């Protein structure tokens, strides 16, 4: 006989269940999603062939006494980015490109580094071994200069070869955490149960996890680690059982985004974000939901447009009478970020989001989630989130 649920009564989840039913109906109406969600992974032979083609082009250029160059899609221009509500931000099929030339003083080092990392990827794929981005950097830290250089080149290679980054056999070191009603088996056979008092690190090889099992009614993405840990301390996952919590500890890394996407593709449960009522928090939420310009070439593997904004809403500040002394004035950088987000293509289909951002712009104030502790120390886990989840307080 199964144990009685430790969370709320079944009636508590009525609005959540209705929301899930509407999400599923929208999926059916839209013809569903590709199996496994997003673009399929490239096979090892396809990756090796793609790299060989690039090298062949270099040899051909040299044979013609021409300076070889890499042609890479320009990921830093909004002109090359298309928005679709069902996918998020993704690159247009015929976008402008940039050349990384071997005979230009400005780009010759980048050209050489791309070649260097291409050769490393070729060996990894050929031997069916994996390395982290950090491993790549430390093979010659003096040559690369810093980790960001390696990260950008790997993204450029992925974009150039039209291959998902995971197919390059390069993994990211995960910084995200997960807790709650979720069990799975990692690629090496390790059984993981996330229903522990402490959180579990997001796996570094999301494609390798299998046998995912959950009864969760919802997934809550928490922007900040401090808030995530506070909710754990307050036994939020137990009180709201069954549910799952995830944090990317700020701007999410690739693995945290891949995990959220995998959970959506596998279970189609409602997903909510809990972020600060500030431009930075809103942008982080947009990355989970609609993606980013930098990773737009892999949008189909990363975005979850079904995500909803649960809190902290700028309108909550006035509604809950949060003391003005706990609010923080928007800086000039905050205002520029807010203006930038308001101009993005996805805001046109989110009138309620726009209204919330306009409330923030008019008040010229922002608030952290911690501001709720001024109402009571456990207000977030005891009152705010349960009420939002029970009565559908998301947008």
DSSP state of 348: G
- Looking up tokens 């999410």, which residue turns up? 252
From 122, 130, 137, 138, the catalytic residue:
138
Structure tokens at 3: 């144990």
The string of DSSP letters for 122-171 reads HHHHHHT--EEHHHHHHHSHHHH-SHHHHHHHHHHHHHHHT--GGGGTEE
CB 338 within 8 A of CB 361: yes
β-partners of residue 244 are: 180, 219
Residue 357's contacts (CB-CB under 8 Å, 6 or more residues apart) are 282, 314, 338, 341, 342, 347
184: left (phi over 0), alpha (psi -120 to 50) or beta: beta
Q: In 3D, which of 238, 243, 225, 241 has the Cα closest to residue 177?
A: 225
138 catalytic? Reply is: yes
Measured between its terminal Cα atoms, the distance across the chain in Å is 39
Handedness of CA 149, 155, 160, 164 (dihedral sign): positive
DSSP helix, strand, coil percent of the chain (3-state; round to 5): 50, 15, 35
**What are the contacts of 193-198 at 24+ separation with CB within 8 A?**
194/244, 195/237, 197/232, 198/232
Catalytic residues: 138
């Amino acid at each position: 006989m199964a144990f009685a649920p430790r969370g709320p009564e079944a009636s508590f989840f009525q609005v959540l269940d209705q929301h899930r039913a509407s999400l599923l109906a929208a999926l059916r109406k839209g013809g569903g999603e590709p199996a496994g969600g997003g673009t399929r992974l490239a096979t090892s032979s396809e990756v090796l062939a793609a790299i060989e083609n690039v090298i062949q082009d270099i040899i051909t250029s040299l044979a013609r006494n021409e300076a070889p160059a890499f042609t890479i899609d320009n990921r830093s221009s909004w002109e090359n980015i298309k928005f679709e509500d069902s996918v998020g931000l993704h690159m247009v099929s015929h976008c402008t490109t940039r050349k990384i030339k071997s005979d230009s003083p400005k780009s010759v080092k980048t050209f050489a580094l791309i070649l260097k990392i291409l050769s490393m990827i070729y060996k990894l794929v050929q031997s069916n071994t994996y390395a982290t981005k950090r491993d790549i950097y430390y093979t010659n830290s003096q040559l690369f200069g810093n980790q960001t250089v390696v990260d950008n080149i790997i993204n450029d290679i992925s974009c150039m070869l039209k291959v998902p980054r995971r197919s390059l056999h390069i993994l990211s070191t995960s910084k995200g955490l997960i807790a709650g009603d979720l069990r799975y088996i990692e690629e090496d056979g390790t059984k993981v149960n996330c229903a522990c008092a402490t959180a579990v690190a997001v796996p570094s090889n999301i494609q390798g996890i299998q046998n995912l099992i959950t009864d969760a009614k919802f997934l809550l993405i928490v922007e900040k680690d401090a808030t995530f840990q506070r909710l754990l301390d307050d036994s939020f996952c137990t009180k709201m059982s069954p549910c799952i919590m995830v944090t990317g500890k700020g701007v999410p890394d690739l693995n945290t985004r891949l995990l959220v996407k995998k959970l959506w593709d596998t279970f189609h449960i409602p997903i909510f974000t809990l972020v600060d009522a500030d431009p930075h928090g809103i942008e982080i939420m947009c990355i989970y939901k609609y993606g980013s310009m930098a990773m737009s070439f892999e949008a189909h593997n990363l975005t979850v447009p079904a995500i909803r904004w649960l809190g902290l809403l700028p309108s909550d500040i006035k509604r809950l009478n949060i003391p003005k002394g706990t609010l923080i004035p928007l800086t000039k950088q905050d205002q520029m970020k807010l203006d930038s987000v308001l101009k993005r293509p996805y805001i046109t289909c989110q009138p309620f989001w726009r209204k919330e951002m306009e409330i923030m712009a008019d008040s010229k104030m922002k608030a952290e989630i911690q501001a709720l502790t001024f109402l009571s120390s456990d207000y977030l886990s005891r009152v705010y989130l349960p009420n939002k989840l029970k009565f559908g307080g998301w947008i």
